[in-house]
Chains A and B, each alone.
Chain A
């Protein structure tokens, strides 16, 4: 287990998340991709905190990222449910009411 390997794992996780965000049309699946990206950044924070310094800052930052992810997921899913009740679908292409 070295820092390089962990960074490559995090990069792979990030790219999977980015691919999910770019290709999915279902908004819930897009949110899954966002969660993957947040996990990738968290791995980086913890890995740098473990290998480069013994300061706990990296882990504290990861805790805040998890808190923000939870809040974001709750609000986003509430928005998706409201969107489903108004438009009958949660596909991101369908949310074009603001399009001029």
Chain B
């Protein structure tokens, strides 16, 4: 691996980590959400370089197309963005930064100093393998995940709908007027 692939790797890595740092420090939550988009896209690029084409597509579809849009909706619905002040207050910045830097040092040292029996990775299409494994060896987790998604769907719909008692009361009061 050298030349253009290396360049793409470093570009994707820089985009991922740089955008993640922006998510951590930006004072405006909307900008932080946009930085998160670039971080997710960079991770998708890393997946492509790691021969995980299906995962890269899933990352874009689910994270960028789903979770990030959901996060943006939550930001719009739950913050007073027009206040103009900092929309993303922070606390305990110094101790948190110290803990994270120390942890990063420890993790990096452990990653670099451990002798892994690295094989040369091969690039093969993965989608058919993943589909086959999900229908055979990983069938039970697959079904459990589908039940979980159904439960999350129902739970989210139930939690986020407006309070029925309050809205009925409001309608009655409007009727009195």
Decide whether A and B are members of one complex. Answer: yes
Please list the residues of chain A having a beta carbon within 8 angstroms of any beta carbon in chain B: 1-9, 11-20, 22-26, 28-29, 31-33, 35-36, 39, 42-43, 46-47, 49-54, 56, 59-60, 62-64, 66-75, 77-82, 84-85, 90-91
Which size bracket describes the interface of B in this complex? 35 or more
Contact B73 A77 (CB under 8 A): yes
Q: List 9 A-B contacts (CB under 8 A).
A: A9-B16, A11-B107, A13-B20, A32-B23, A46-B50, A56-B126, A77-B71, A78-B160, A81-B78
Please list the residues of chain B having a beta carbon within 8 angstroms of any beta carbon in chain A: 1, 5-6, 9, 13, 16-17, 20-21, 23-24, 29, 32-33, 36, 39-40, 43, 46-47, 49-52, 54-55, 58-59, 62-63, 66-67, 70-71, 73-75, 77-79, 87-93, 96-97, 99-101, 103-104, 107-108, 111-112, 116-119, 121-122, 126, 129-130, 133-134, 138, 141, 145, 148-149, 151-153, 155-160, 162-163
Contact B33 A32 (CB under 8 A): yes
Whole-angstrom distance from the CB of A79 to the nearest CB of chain B? 6
Residues on B with beta carbons closer than 8 Å to the beta carbon of A91:
89
Contact A15 B159 (CB under 8 A): no
Contact A26 B88 (CB under 8 A): yes
Whole-angstrom distance from the CB of B137 to the nearest CB of chain A? 8
Report if A59-B55 is in contact (Cβ < 8 Å); known contacts: A13-B16, A13-B17: yes
Top 9 nearest A-B pairs (CB, nearest first) are: A7-B111, A71-B152, A11-B107, A78-B159, A16-B20, A78-B160, A22-B96, A78-B156, A84-B78
Report if A63-B55 is in contact (Cβ < 8 Å); known contacts: A9-B17, A28-B29, A28-B74: yes
Chain A interface, DSSP helix/strand/loop, else mixed: helix
CA distance A60 to B93 in the complex (A): 36
Residues on B with beta carbons closer than 8 Å to the beta carbon of A77:
70-71, 73-74, 156, 160
Residues on B with beta carbons closer than 8 Å to the beta carbon of A26:
29, 79, 87-89
Residues on B with beta carbons closer than 8 Å to the beta carbon of A31:
71, 74
